[in-house]
Structure 1
Amino acid sequence: MAHAPGKPIDVHTWSTPNGWKIPIMLEECGLPYRVVPVNIGRGDQMAPNFLALSPNNKIPAIVDPDGPGHEPITIFESAAILQYLGRKTGCLYPTDERARVMVDEWLSWQVAGFGPMLGQAHHFRIYAEEKIPYAIERFTTETQRLYRVLDRRLAGRDYVAGDYSIADIAILTWAKYHGKQGVDLAGLPHVKAWLDRVLARPAVQRGFAAI
């Protein structure tokens, strides 16, 4: 659902799975925005001006100059931002309660499990200076299990919660990097088909390119 142009939303973010979610959502909904880079590699997220926006020193955060009551609002945490933008625009977030619950379930699944476990797999497999076999096995095994959950869910479905939604956006930015997580999509045909489908969306491609 395209949205009428207005004042741009400032998106404080960086090129990470969580950081890409919001530009993708904004591209899908046709909202104007401006990326404000927060270089987490040099510690920009610890700066006092960013802490004022995001109390947990984590990206992303947004400032919407046209928030509720036409007053500015600041929001941190990617899931909260996605839900807010969905409510604001009516885009990719159903109003029917049963449909919304389904989207919220899979959004929560990503936030509580899929993202954190994949992030730990990334860290211990690739970035940790010391290779710790126990940690690598623990997080890789759980990551592979979560992908199997996703594959079962996508059997017979084009998207995780009915129509394409914020839940798909939240999951796809992590699933794009399955190789780094020790996951081979050859044994996950439904995930592979879904990932090909969502990555082919022009708004998704623009969102990834925005940072």
Structure 2
Amino acid sequence: MADLSAFPITQRWPALHPDRLQLYSMNTPNGVKASIMLEETGLPYEPHFVDIGKDETWGPEYLSLNPNGKIPAILDPDGPDGQPLALFESGAILIYLADKTGQLIPTDAAGRYQTIQWVMWQMGGLGPMFGQLGFFHKFAGRQYEDKRPLQRYVAESRHLLGVLDARLEGRDWVMDDYTIADISMLGWVRNLIGFYEAREVVEFDTLKNVPAWLERGLARPAVQRGLEIPKRPLNSR
């Protein structure tokens, strides 16, 4: 059985199954990338609910694994060369799990790098811009009298959706097949029109291809499961 005692994070979130990959997350658009990927690949794992609303990522145990204090993060007891590997950043986790399992990333070099480019596009654009739109459209930012920030992020979100819509022309998925590129984006697009309530302001229903892509993705059983993992403990509600 793997010994994970050297990792302080296991003191705060003990591993009941230390031989399995440990997931520290919450079902946010970034968090569900890891849980969806794990469900898609079938890799055994143990999820731990990390409540960002209670600032649990800023405790010393979590920061020992991810000094940036964000979710998700993983601890793989069977990492490269059989040694435990701690990893953060959702894009890096997707690529690592794809390589570890040999799933959901093309095996040819060109396809691999093109897939990674779309993951990086999501990490650098789609997620941050949608997140800012959510702040200024639904949360505290909506009270600002100056609406230029909101207008900026609405415009940029529309642009990014347009880029994705064009990419999906004549195809079901971002690449020829379903990959980590799709997994990186599904939660964010779902969140934009759902939790952020921005469907109308980004003119989502005028898009030709993105709505059907989102519907296809959300229909996948592994995606449906992953969107609900980790389960929120009853005492955290």
Report TM bin, short chain: over 0.9
Q: Secondary structure at the match of 1:160?
A: coil
| Deviation string, structure 1 residues 143-179 (Cα, Å, up to 9, x no partner) | 0110011001101011112210000000111011232
Instruction: Give the aligned partner of residue 163 of structure 1.
Output: 177
Matches within 5 A, 1:50-129: 50-128=62-140
Q: Which moved more, 1:181-190 or 1:197-206?
A: 181-190
Instruction: Give the aligned partner of residue 150 of structure 2.
Output: 136
8 Å contact from structure 1 (residues 121, 143) kept in 2: yes
Q: Does 1:173 align with 2:173?
A: no
Gaps of 5+ in 2: 1-17, 231-237
Q: Secondary structure at the match of 1:204?
A: helix
Amino acid at match of 2:128: P
Instruction: Give the aligned partner of residue 205 of structure 1.
Output: 224
8 Å contact from structure 2 (residues 78, 85) kept in 1: yes
TM-score by length of 1: 0.94
8 Å contact from structure 1 (residues 64, 72) kept in 2: yes
Instruction: Give the aligned partner of residue 3 of structure 1.
Output: none
Q: Number of matched residues?
A: 206
Instruction: Give the aligned partner of residue 165 of structure 2.
Output: 151
Q: Which moved more, 1:176-185 or 1:137-146?
A: 176-185
8 Å contact from structure 1 (residues 178, 184) kept in 2: no
Q: Does 1:186 align with 2:213?
A: no
For 1:177 and 1:38, the matched residues in 2 are separated by: 19
Aligned alpha-carbon RMSD (Å): 1.3
Q: Please tell me whether Structure 1 or Structure 2 has the larger radius of gyration of its CA atoms.
A: 2
For 2:30 and 2:119, the matched residues in 1 are separated by: 12
8 Å contact from structure 1 (residues 27, 203) kept in 2: yes
Q: Secondary structure at the match of 2:78?
A: coil
Amino acid at match of 1:205: Q
Shift of 1:183: 2.5
Q: Which moved more, 1:81-90 or 1:171-180?
A: 171-180
Amino acid at match of 2:150: I
Amino acid at match of 1:122: G
Q: Secondary structure at the match of 2:121?
A: helix
Instruction: Give the aligned partner of residue 10 of structure 2.
Output: none
Amino acid at match of 1:105: Q
Shift of 1:137: 0.8
Amino acid at match of 1:189: K
Please state which structure has a larger fraction of its residues in helix.
1
For 2:51 and 2:83, the matched residues in 1 are separated by: 28
8 Å contact from structure 2 (residues 134, 192) kept in 1: no
Task: Calculate percent identity across the aligned residue pairs.
Answer: 47
For 1:40 and 1:66, the matched residues in 2 are separated by: 27
